[in-house]
Amino acid sequence: MATTNAWDADPRAASQPFDAILIGAGMSGLYMLYRLRELGLKVRAFEAGTGVGGTWYWNRYPGARFDSESYSYGYSFSPELLQEWSWSEHFAAQPETLRYLNYVADKFDLRGDIQFKSRVTSAHYQDASGSWEVRLADGSRYRSRFLITAIGLLSAPTMPRLEGLASFRGQSFHTAAWPHEPVSFAGKRVAVLGTGATGVQTIQEVAKTAAHLTVLQRTANWCAPLHNSQIDADTQRRIKAAYPEIFARCRETFACFLHTPDQRATFEVTAEEREAFFEKLYAERGFGIWQGNFRDILSDRAANAAISDFVARKIRARVHDPAVAEKLIPKDHGFGTRRVPLETFYYEVYNQPNVELVDLRQTPIARITPTGLATRAATYAFDLIIYATGFDAITGSFDRIDIRGRGSESLKAKWAKGPKTFLGVQVEGFPNMFMLMGPHTALGNIPRSIEYNVEWVAKLIGHMYQHGLTRADALPQAVAAWTDFVLDKGRGLLSNEVDSWMTGINSNVEGKQTRVVARYSGSAPAYRQRCDEVVAQGYRELALA
């Protein structure tokens, strides 16, 4: 390990250590920076991209937008910002969200402490000095007391593991590494590989102008209508006046959305009432049909079968060709047990003459070829291949950095059989490393959880300064208790019986073929209550020195 002397002898090492190094300048990083500055800390944020925005900087693919209502997604911490910013749609598209985050960075003058084009490759805790040494891809090194990761849970894109990938001679893009310049589909033969939330958004846009679109589907997903629309002036005024109630609602709901489960069970009501309730949810905006449905649809098999049957009937009604409709109806998991993509005319796309669905379960891809691809049954020629193949979720962005704690212990190795954390914020043996949106933290409508996480970490750091403390580490018994709590909260959920990024599965990543409990699946209020207790009890689950 590097010693203090070796550090001092290295001309690439920053001479003045920072109080805190922050990795990432997405929603988490920007707000953390704001709070750390408020505490008077000397901070440097390193960001791999050339600008702020994280998810909304990278995911520039056509159709990219969030599925949280815009006014429930933006930051809530600044009443002034809330009044200044006007969302144009109920679900804003990526360019608008990126503009918003740039506006935030400018308004709070955050850019001065962010170093762009700076990918962190390693972060090593120095036992002797109790500091973190951070290395960038260009070899430069920096030191700080605190290391805060704001590296995203969906930020490490994965390509499919296919033979011949590099041989393709046409254009190809991963949706999360989309070019900054416009990409035209007009007159082109386009393939979209992947039908998760991103693929569903992309397919609807590409189908508008492509000469021919081939959708390559491995896993059919249950999609539901978004019902997006413009926000008119009157609604805008009402939204701005209602912000205190909107955020109070998000604090109360199960997953910080405006929607929360109905207290009735599916079979407590008559068949007619059930059908009418499903119809109502299907006709409403956003995640209501997933997050605001009967309380047992995600835990009771019969209840889940009822909503799955309802959505299957909708798909059959919207897709003209019955054989295509059957391919689009998931047979291996129930509604809502994987992330539900929201759509506007996704199913109708398959009624267009220029769109073809290839079921990769029936005819798997054999290889990518210089002109397209070959399945076991046919060959296809494309001008452009779009990989909507998602992310090495939750732990992927951590695995891509060589993070080492006390005694040079590797985080990746420590988490090889699944992550273990305290509150999703700390890892035992990695003193003064705080994770924002780390594994086992509350997710849901993520900015609400980000704000809570950031404020919790800022409070802890403030506490440490106030009491002359320089080191915080999670106690092993606290990690064990939190891990048990997380496992307990996941028990009985049908989603934990399904392969998805939420259960740590990614067939494109080596070592991610076994299900693990990668996320906390209890309620956000229960998460916050536990974190508040830790503070109220004087952080006794942490070793503070």
CB of 56 vs ligand FAD, minimal distance in Å: 6
Which residue's CB is nearer to ligand FAD, number 358 or number 394? 394
Cβ closest to ligand FAD, residue 93 vs residue 325: 93
Six-digit token string for 368: 């990518």
**Which of 46, 75 has the CB closer to ligand FAD?**
46
Minimum gap (Å) between residue 57 Cβ and ligand FAD: 6
Whose Cβ is closer to ligand FAD: residue 325's or residue 437's?
437
Instruction: Quote the longest CA-to-CA distance of the chain.
Output: 77
Q: How far is the CB of 176 from ligand FAD (least distance, A)?
A: 6
Residue 339 Cβ, how far from ligand FAD at the closest point, in Å?
9
Cα-based distances in Å from 261 to 99, 118, 445: 33, 42, 14
Contacts of 112 (CB under 8 A, 6+ apart): none
N- to C-terminal Cα distance for the chain?
23
For the bound state, the minimum distance from the C-beta of residue 326 to ligand FAD, rounded and expressed in Å, comes to 28
CA–CA separation, 422 vs 425, rounded Å? 6
Q: Which residues contact 468 (CB under 8 A, 6 or more apart)?
A: none
Question: Which residues bind to ligand FAD, rule: CB under 6 A?
Answer: 23-29, 46-49, 54-55, 57, 59, 64, 66-68, 119-120, 150-152, 154-155, 198, 397, 401, 436-437, 445-447, 450
Instruction: Decide: 88 and 236 in contact? Cβ < 8 Å.
Output: no
Q: How far is the CB of 55 from ligand FAD (least distance, A)?
A: 4
Residues 498/337, Cβ–Cβ less than 8 Å: yes
461 forms bridges with which residues in the sheet?
Answer: none
Pick the closer one to ligand FAD by CB: 168 or 434: 434
> Which is closer to ligand FAD, CB of 437 or CB of 542?
437
Between CA 296 and CA 213 the distance in angstroms is 38
Write down the least CB distance from residue 131 to ligand FAD, Å. 19
Output the CA torsion 187→190→195→197 (10° steps): -60
Q: Residue 321 in contact with residue 350, Cβ under 8 Å?
A: yes
> Quick one: 49 or 462, whose CB is closer to ligand FAD?
49
Where would I find the H helices in 378-501?
396-399, 411-414, 446-466, 476-490
